[in-house]
Amino acid sequence: MDSIVHTALTASAPERARTLQALLDAHGAEIDRRRELTPEVVDALVEQDMLRLLLPKSLGGQEIHLLDFCRATEAVAWADASAGWFVNQSNVSAATSAAAMSHEAAAAIFDGPRTGLAWGSKHNHSTCIRVEGGYRLTGTWGFASGSRHTKWIGAHSSVRNPDGSVHMRYGRPDERSFLFLREKATIIDNWQVLGLRGTGSDTYTVTDLFVPDEHAPARDAPEEWRETGPLYPILSTLLYAVGFCGVTLGLGRRMLETYTALARGRHSKASPTAMINNQAVQREIGLLEARLSAARAFVHEAVCQVYDASAAGRLDVDLRMRLRLATTHGMNEATEVSIACYRGAGTGAILDAAPFERRFRDAMSASQHLQAMPALIEMVGRHIIGSDNVVQYI
């Protein structure tokens, strides 16, 4: 059990996130250098109970409204994007797993405020064989964001029978998430990247690892949900999308605020007019504010629509598509704002000591995530038009 003593939470998750911003700002450069969060930042996240935001209340979690979660990831990322990324990744992974596990098994894993969970991205190159009492898992997974700060990690895989045939369950191929102690895996320190360095998103390998049934939830299978709250029918992909969009919105907001502050006091050598009096700069800042605010408002509206529909038991594909559109569009709009602010800041923005360079790298890396891919917007467009479509990631 965790040794940190917690008082009752009285502030909302976004409010608690904002109390962390000064600390995150102070540790940002060191987080980037270490390629992981500092111990002080991890302890502060735990102290503010930021790793159990979506965890079921039955397990001591907060199970907050999805809009508050979006605002919380935004507030954390405003100060440090890697910390915001970890908060989102860990919360969604833990909550969706716990909701599909037996209470006893989930309580044993998610047993305190230091209850994060990390895992790598899903692929089709792992091997998982159904055996008596569990599974034998072999594979290598990358992008395990935050895994340096979690006791448990996991992996996703389809399941096969001992004879090699596809294992079926609920009338479809069985796909599961497998949770195991981090010490059971071989960790490959290969997180040498452009941005979001502090996520420490290492690669890891397991070979013929036995994972018991109780640690192998089908987290997006309604047949296995133990929890009945509105968060869990939204499914993991869209929950991740909301948090990752929050991260990019926080980055965009910080970049815009920093650019605006620069414009108040700088006179570019390339212009006869001080930035504060330059009509082009004035227009640009106004338009950037409109773009970022409009994207954020669309995300918040779609989040509330989906959450309310899920609570009422009427969540449908149209609303799922709307949230997919809002989050993917939001990530791209926030990225464009970050790019414009970096370019507008001029030569000084490239310096390590300036407030732009690291956040620009973070914004570029976040924009490369699957959740921001334009193909997802095309999918929504096909749905709206009514043309042939492959529905995924909703």
pLDDT of residue 272: 81
Q: Which two tokens stand for residue 77?
A: 């990322």
pLDDT of residue 183: 96
Residue 1 has pLDDT above 70, yes or no: no
State pLDDT tens for residues 142-183. 999 999 999 999 999 999 999 999 999 999 999 999 999 999
Question: DSSP label at 9?
Answer: P
Euclidean distance between CA atoms 145 and 89, whole angstroms = 7
State pLDDT tens for residues 369-380. 999 999 999 999
Q: Given the DSSP bridges, would you call strands 175-181 and 134-144 parallel, antiparallel or unpaired?
A: unpaired
pLDDT of residue 269: 74
Q: What is the pTM of this model?
A: 0.95
Quickly list DSSP for 76-91. Answer: HHHH-HHHHHHHHHHH
Euclidean distance between CA atoms 50 and 374, whole angstroms = 31
Candidates 304, 299, 301; CA nearest to 334 is 299
State pLDDT tens for residues 63-111. 999 999 999 999 999 999 999 999 999 999 999 999 999 999 999 999 9
Share of the chain above pLDDT 70, in %: 98
The CATH number of domain 235-385 is 1.20.140.10: yes
Tell me which architecture the domain covering 118-220 has in CATH. Beta Barrel (2.40)
Kindly state the average pLDDT of the residues 7-29.
Answer: 92
Q: Rounded to 5 degrees, what angle do the CA atoms 45, 247, 11 make? A: 45
The CATH number of domain 13-116 is 3.40.50.970: no
Residue 28 has pLDDT above 60, yes or no: yes
Whether 338 and 390 have beta carbons less than 8 Å apart is answered as: no
Q: Which two tokens stand for residue 242?
A: 């909301």
Residue 8 has pLDDT above 90, yes or no: no
Q: What are the residue ranges spanned by the domains of the chain?
A: 13-116, 118-220, 235-385
State pLDDT tens for residues 161-172. 999 999 999 999
Q: What's the half-sphere exposure (Cβ side, CA atoms, 13 Å) at 295?
A: 27
Kindly state the average pLDDT of the residues 250-278.
Answer: 90
State pLDDT tens for residues 317-340. 999 999 999 999 999 999 999 999
The answer to whether the 13-116 and 118-220 domains have the same CATH topology is: no
Residue 39 has pLDDT above 90, yes or no: yes
Cα separations (Å) of 172 from 4, 135, 219? Answer: 44, 18, 15
Q: Which two tokens stand for residue 144?
A: 């395990």
Mean pLDDT of the chain: 95
